[in-house]
Chains A and B, each alone.
Chain A
Amino acid sequence: MPDFTFYKARYQSELTGKSARDISELISVIKEVDESSIFHHIYHALLDYHFLPLEYPNDFAYWIADVLHEPALAERLADPDLREIHDLEALRARIISIIENYLTTHDVVGMARSGQEFHFIKCISVIFPTRYVASNMGEALEILKEIDLDSIFYYFIASRMLGGEHYKALSGWILENDRHELMEALDNLYPYGFANLNAMRIEIVKIVERYFWEHL
């Protein structure tokens, strides 16, 4: 088995210059904004440190509840079922569809006061190798237990949504030893249901350990 180097990414926020004051402006900017902005607003909260589980796990849902006072729409956006979504354009389409469907039966009239606008931020991803290198699955398991949560986020969320390059590399490395069931279990991991990244790490480690327990 060849060595496998773990990667991670750091993210820098940049303003897009676009903002929204109401639902129609929000949806119109979502339709045209850079896809890295969609990524940022849906996922960055997972990467941030939290004291309590988030009421809404993404910025769109939070703003719609907090500023536009439309909690029912916020709840729909909070759980957009992203299981079948593996790229940002599909994610964008899903968000638009949730909002537009809601608007067919509801009037959303809320308007942000000055200072409460939704500012669209995009993220620059800087991807680089870590010092963690595994030469077999046992080592990979130990690394998964201790590597930075940024790496967990990178492999199981960012890389899958931003082209998948390193997730595919991980998948290829695992599959080299015919561990299709393990890869299938990891593929089916649904990152959006976790309260934080550490909970997600624990689940990943459990999946790998369970596989070892059943197969080795």
Chain B
Amino acid sequence: MNEKRSVWDYEDIVGRGLLEDLELLAGNISGKVQHVNSTYTGGGVAEILNSLIPLFKGLEIETEWNIIRGDDEFFSVTKSFHNQLHGRVGGPVDVHAHEQVSVLEDLEEQIKELSMKRRMLETYLHWNRVNAEEMTNDGDFVFIHDPQPAALIHTKEKGHWIWRCHIDVSSPDPLVWNFLRDFVSKYDASIFSTPLFSRPDLGIRQFLVPPSIDPLSDKNIELSPGEIDKVLDKYEITTDKPIITQVSRFDRLKDLPGVIDAYKLVKKRIDCQLILAGGVAADDPEGMEVYREVLKKAEGEADIHLLLGSPPFPDIEINAFQRASTVIMQKSLKEGFGLVVSEGLWKGKPVIGGATGGIPLQVINGVTGYLVHSVEGAAYKIANLLKDPELARKLGENGREHVRHNFLITRHLKDYLLVMLSLENPSSIIRL
């Protein structure tokens, strides 16, 4: 990726002050920045890097973006790591205490599981070794994103290495975390999205940088009514009834059945329609199963638009679904940061979300939307918003401002520059 983007493209959105600061901060960075993750496309990390890398370059910072390669088995292992690290329900786990606890009664089963995990760890290490041999990691600031390439730290010869963790590792599988921690603790610093996702046992500096959305990307850019209608026409959706939308993968933790139940409760009183739009990850066999369950639950409901993006929906279509909506839902039972919430808020839509993960940081209850804990709660709040368009407008307006001040890519860029300056000068007060 060679293109540059000027931060001044964002002037109308964030004003001059921040952009002047970005230029000044960047002018004090010397050396090359390198970002390493596992894919150029698909998923939140790639989405952020696709926006961030051209901005780094636009600030005249030499920046390189590398991805690691691996076979299907490697990515199946890292997907499994992801699931095992990503916050088990029930709160944080004391890793040391848990190591001693046997979770399976049957010894044979335990040996089988440990042997399988050992094979997984070997696969992970094998592909990290292959990538280490093929990749030149000579950046002065090397950002390694998420667990997939974390073992590359062994190739460090120079520079500041930062492990950028996008997932919630506060309550991980102990075995996987202990394995990963051996690598992560060798970094100069880590970055977490919120204190809730961090761990106390890393022994390295831990910066806080929430993720962000790009207001100029296809997913978030302003669309004309004609552009929105064109997308709705394609999916045979009319705008004669208010639209409630949830954009999410077909995943049990997104509580799609709960969204349908809430919609059905509202539908008895207020004529409305529901868009459920999402995809199924190629390596997620459970996804199709969830889709079929949701399809069955939506049977006979003419105003439920169940849209399976396969291949994934173009970003502009997701943008149009959100912009056409009166209310956006993210009724997750468990969530990472849940940036889709910020996407909805940025479009001036109130969001009703589950009180989990990063959602409460984006949905300020009663100010930018509502946090709910049940189907009934969701239905009540949807009805409130459908019946009171002025309230919906006000919450949506607040939401857009909340995102403008906290969750845009320009703030993310500023935070990374500050982290880099702080690594160069580890004092609590830095004078430029």
B154 within 8 A of A: no
- The stretch of B43-51, B234-242, B256-264, B418-426 in contact with A is B418-426
Q: Is A114 an interface residue (CB 8 A)?
A: yes
Check A51 against B401 for contact (C-beta < 8 Å): yes
Contacts of B415 in A (CB 8 A): 12
- Interface assignment of A201: CB less than 8 Å from any CB of chain B: no
Within 8 A of A (CB), among B136-178: 170
- Would A17 and B430 be within 8 Å (CB), given that A49-B406, A52-B367, A124-B418 are in contact? no
Q: Which residues of A contact B430 (CB under 8 A)?
A: 124-127
Tell me if A110 is interfacial: C-beta within 8 Å of chain B: no
Q: Does A213 contact B (CB under 8 A)?
A: no
Contact B207 A119 (CB under 8 A): no
CA distance A121 to B205 in the complex (A): 12
Given contacts A52-B367, A148-B17, contact A15 B429 (CB under 8 A): no
Q: Which residues of chain B are within 8 angstroms of A163 by Cβ–Cβ distance?
A: 429
Tell me the minimal C-beta distance from A37 to chain B in angstroms.
9
A49-B429 in contact (CB<8A):
no
Assess whether A10 is in contact with B25, with CB atoms less than 8 Å apart. yes
The answer to the question of A75 belonging to the interface, with a C-beta cut-off of 8 Å to chain B, is: no
Q: Chain A residues with Cβ under 8 A from B421's Cβ?
A: 126
**A162 to B: closest C-beta gap in Å:** 6
Are A128 and B208 in contact (CB-based, < 8 A)? Answer: no
Separation in Å of the B60 CB from the closest CB of chain A?
17
Which residues of chain B (398-432) have a CB below 8 Å from chain A? 398, 401-402, 405-406, 414-415, 418-419, 421-422, 428-432
User: Which of the 9-residue segments B75-83, B191-199, B212-220, B374-382 touches chain A?
Assistant: B191-199
The reply to whether A126 and B432 form a contact with Cβ atoms under 8 Å apart is: yes
| In the complex, number of A-B residue pairs with CB atoms less than 8 Å apart | 84
Q: Name the A residues within 8 Å of B389 (CB-CB).
A: none
Which B residue's beta carbon lies closest to that of A36?
B428
Interface centre among B21, B205, B428 (most CB of A within 10 A): B428
Q: Chain A residues with Cβ under 8 A from B185's Cβ?
A: none
* A122 contacts partner chain B, Cβ-Cβ < 8 Å: yes
A19 interfacial by beta-carbon distance below 8 Å:
yes
Q: Are A162 and B414 in contact (CB under 8 A)?
A: no
If the complex has contacts A15-B195, A123-B428, are A51 and B206 also in contact, measured as CB distance less than 8 A? no
Q: Is A79 an interface residue (CB 8 A)?
A: no
Contact of A14 (CB < 8 Å), options: B28, B92, B205? B205
Of the candidates B20, B205, B405, the one whose C-beta lies within 8 Å of that of A131 is: B20
> Cβ of B422 and Cβ of A124 under 8 Å apart?
yes
How far is B402's CA from A127's CA once the two chains are assembled, in angstroms?
25
Cα–Cα, bound, A15→B201 (Å): 12
Cβ of A53 < 8 Å from any Cβ of B? no
Query: Measured between alpha carbons, how far is A109 from B266 in the docked complex, in Å?
Result: 42
Contacts of B196 on A, CB cut-off 8 Å?
Answer: 115
Contacting residue for B208 out of A14, A17, A34, A126, CB 8 A: A14
Which residues of chain B are near A10, meaning CB under 8 Å?
21, 25, 414, 418
For residue B25, which residues in chain A have a CB less than 8 angstroms away from its CB? 10, 126, 128
Q: Which residues of the partner chain B approach A36 to less than 8 Å between Cβ atoms? A: 428
* Distance of A130 Cα from B401 Cα, bound (Å): 25
Interface members, chain A 127-156 (any B CB < 8 Å): 127-131, 148, 150
> B24 contacts A12, CB within 8 Å?
no
A128 touches B428 (CB 8 A): no
B311 interfacial by beta-carbon distance below 8 Å:
no
B419 x A12 contact (CB < 8 A): yes
Decide: A34 near B200, CB < 8 A? Known: A49-B402, A124-B418, A126-B418: no
Going nearest first, the 4 A-B pairs with the smallest beta carbon separation are A114-B91, A119-B195, A12-B418, A49-B405
18 CB-based A-B contacts, threshold 8 Å: A10-B418, A12-B207, A12-B422, A14-B208, A34-B428, A51-B367, A114-B91, A115-B196, A119-B198, A121-B208, A124-B428, A125-B428, A126-B432, A128-B431, A129-B432, A131-B20, A148-B17, A162-B429
Q: A14-B422, A119-B195, A125-B429 are in contact. List 13 more A-B contacts (CB 8 A).
A: A15-B198, A17-B206, A34-B428, A36-B428, A48-B405, A49-B401, A49-B402, A51-B401, A115-B92, A115-B196, A119-B198, A148-B17, A162-B429
- Which residues of A come within 8 Å of B, CB atoms? 8, 10-15, 17, 19, 34, 36, 48-49, 51-52, 114-115, 119, 121-131, 148, 150, 162-163
**B interface with A by C-beta (< 8 Å):** 17, 20-21, 24-25, 28, 91-92, 170, 192, 195-196, 198, 200, 205-208, 364, 367, 398, 401-402, 405-406, 414-415, 418-419, 421-422, 428-432
